[in-house]
Amino acid sequence: MAASEQSHRMVQIAAAAADSKGGEDFVAFDVSQPLPLVDAFLLVTGRSERNVAAIADEIEDQLLQAGFKRLRREGRQESRWVLLDFGDLVVHIFHEEERVYYGLERLWKDCPVIAVDIPTHTTAQ
């Protein structure tokens, strides 16, 4: 079974929230086949602990506003790798070094990728 439309919507909300706080390197995976209780993972990179925390807080705020309940949050204290569990969606927000070290992309490379649509930013001239 593939990730639900709701899960895809959650990915887009979370990615837009992360982008608004400077999140980078977005990758989303449909993990519904190997993980029966989760539909999607979203991986995001922040440049510093402060940035990782801000990204995590904004994602949580936006998903809560959209009516999705957070089930669990881990790593917020250190803000090197924050995990936000919203049931169908689990968001991993990494500091740059942890993203490279843990390499979750390698672990989930066989799972289908979910397109992440981030609006293009334009600069005023």
CATH number (domain holding residue 86): 3.30.460.10
CA gap 51, 29 in Å, rounded: 23
Dmax (CA) for the chain in angstroms is: 49
Tell whether 49 is covered by a domain. Answer: yes
> Which tokens belong to 56?
């995590």
pTM (whole model) above 0.85: yes
CA gap 97, 113 in Å, rounded: 23
Residue-number span of the structural domain to which 79 is assigned: 5-114
So what's the pLDDT on residue 122? 46
| Residue 1 banded pLDDT, cuts 50, 70, 90 | low
Structural domain count, the chain: 1
The secondary structure of residue 87, as a DSSP letter, is: S
Tell whether 19 is covered by a domain. Answer: yes
C-alpha dihedral sign at 100, 81, 117, 58: negative
So what's the pLDDT on residue 52? 97
Q: By CB neighbour count within 10 A (0-12 exposed, 13-18 middle, 19+ buried), where does 41 fall?
A: buried
pLDDT in tens, 42-93: 999 999 999 999 999 999 999 999 999 999 999 988 899 999 999 999 999 9
